Amino acid sequence: LSVGVVAETAAGERRVALVPKLAERVIRRGLRVVVEPGAGEGAGLPDELYAAAGAELATAASPARHCDIVLTVTPPSDADIARLARGTVLIGFLDPLGAPQRIEALREAGVTAFAVESIPRISRAQAMDALSSQANVSGYRAALLAAQRAPRFFPMLTTAAGTVPPATVLVLGAGVAGLQALATAKRLGAQPTGYDVRPEVAEQVRSVGAQWLDLGIEAIGEGGYARELTDDERAEQQRRLTEAIGGFDVVITTALVPGRTAPTLVTAEAVHGMRPGSVVVDLAGATGGNCALTEAGRDVVVDGVTISSPLNLPAEMPLHASELYARNLVELLELLVDAEGRLAIDPADEIVAGACVAGLPEEVA
Ligand code: NAD
């Protein structure tokens, strides 16, 4: 069985789906690993490291995309899909809810596709949870980005030239990314406060040293996620948040509802109520943004308030993002391969059934 590692083609993507250390683990399991030349370069992982780990470098005659299993970070383009052979097992971020037409194209191409976004969030799948591993990177980088954009210190400082108070940071959406943003802001010396519509995260927010903002609106959905708010709840939430936001130097937003447009938590009115020099970092830009004034992928300044919308923070920290992601993929891969190194996809397995978005073996047969 062969495992192909592609060089990512999406603009700005510097991560790689398999790192040398984990290539070695896959090879020990009796599989061949074929790496596209330069695949790890963006993450600082030259071809030689893969070769030293026992991987083969792909050639025109034996391309990585012709392997039995193909690993990727970002979803394949139409051209990428056209280069996959029928029967290929593809594993990666495939955005099944955002781009169902791509899943249809994979199905038509005879590909068995596993979307890491669809891995059920159960304990047994925790080591495979790529949404979490990458959200952790995003949250960390979001706090650093906010600190860099802010015209002030994050920590409290007492110096001969004067004393500065700590920055106050509000994080809206305290899932994986939000909690990491809170923890990072705390480590930088800021005073963080977290908010979410899932009341059970209050404890987690407090455990990273942040305060909990309670607005009295609960919205618990399926699978541990939040549900979309009703119109009334949304209006009430925006009103209460608008009141609260003016008191913070930094607002970091991470609120998502799977398959939906991101909820607007920071209205234009809330931005107008912020002091000049305040910063909003919006991690939800790709699905519409949590701030009404967000322009996806750009920094804008409105009334002296900087609103920043980074679209791919994990790609800006590619080494560790790739290491964690590769670990997630290898854990999933090991579920799909038996002890003799043969494909053994069990459609009855909860993780397989959840993650496989096209071409489950039953369907193929
Ligand atoms: P996410 O990225 O989908 O959303 C981020 C946060 O935004 C969530 O906490 C959500 O509650 C919040 N949110 C959504 N709408 C909101 C609104 N209108 N106002 C305020 N906040 C809003 O979430 P995630 O980080 O992927 O985590 C989702 C859940 O999955 C969490 O409960 C997390 O603990 C859980 N999880 C479980 C496992 C596991 O057991 N294997 C692993 C990782 C995460």
- Would you say residue 119 has pLDDT above 90? yes
Instruction: Indicate if ligand 1 lies below 6 Å from the C-beta of 129.
Output: yes
pTM: 0.96
Indicate the pLDDT class of residue 226, thresholds 50, 70 and 90: very high
pLDDT of residue 54: 98
- Would you say residue 365 has pLDDT above 60? no
Residue type, 67: C
Instruction: Indicate if ligand 1 lies below 6 Å from the C-beta of 128.
Output: no
- Would you say residue 223 has pLDDT above 90? no
**Active-site residue 132, yes or no?**
yes
Catalytic residue among 47, 132, 187, 240: 132
pLDDT of residue 211: 98
Ligand 1 centroid – CA 139 distance (Å): 13
Indicate the pLDDT class of residue 361, thresholds 50, 70 and 90: confident
Q: Which atom of ligand 1 is nearest to 255's Cα?
A: 7
Instruction: Indicate if ligand 1 lies below 6 Å from the C-beta of 263.
Output: yes
Catalytic residue among 47, 225, 234, 338: 225
- Would you say residue 259 has pLDDT above 90? no
Average pLDDT over residues 311-319: 98
pLDDT of residue 364: 47
Average pLDDT over residues 58-64: 96
pLDDT of residue 363: 54
Q: How far apart are CA 233 and CA 308, in angstroms?
A: 26
Catalytic residue among 80, 102, 129, 141: 129
Instruction: Indicate if ligand 1 lies below 6 Å from the C-beta of 89.
Output: no
Per residue in 187-207, pLDDT (tens digit) is: 999 999 999 999 999 999 999
Ligand 1 centroid – CA 226 distance (Å): 6
Average pLDDT over residues 86-109: 97
Ligand 1 centroid – CA 233 distance (Å): 18
Residue position matching structure tokens 């936001």: 245
- ipTM here: 0.94
Indicate the pLDDT class of residue 86, thresholds 50, 70 and 90: very high
Catalytic residue among 62, 77, 124, 126: 126
Average pLDDT over residues 117-135: 97
Indicate the pLDDT class of residue 258, thresholds 50, 70 and 90: confident
Structure tokens at 157: 């400082």
- Crossing angle (nearest 10°) for helices 130-149 and 318-336: 170
Per residue in 319-356, pLDDT (tens digit) is: 999 999 999 999 999 999 998 999 999 999 999 999 99
Mean pLDDT (the chain) is 96
CB of 291 closer than 8 Å to CB of 310: no
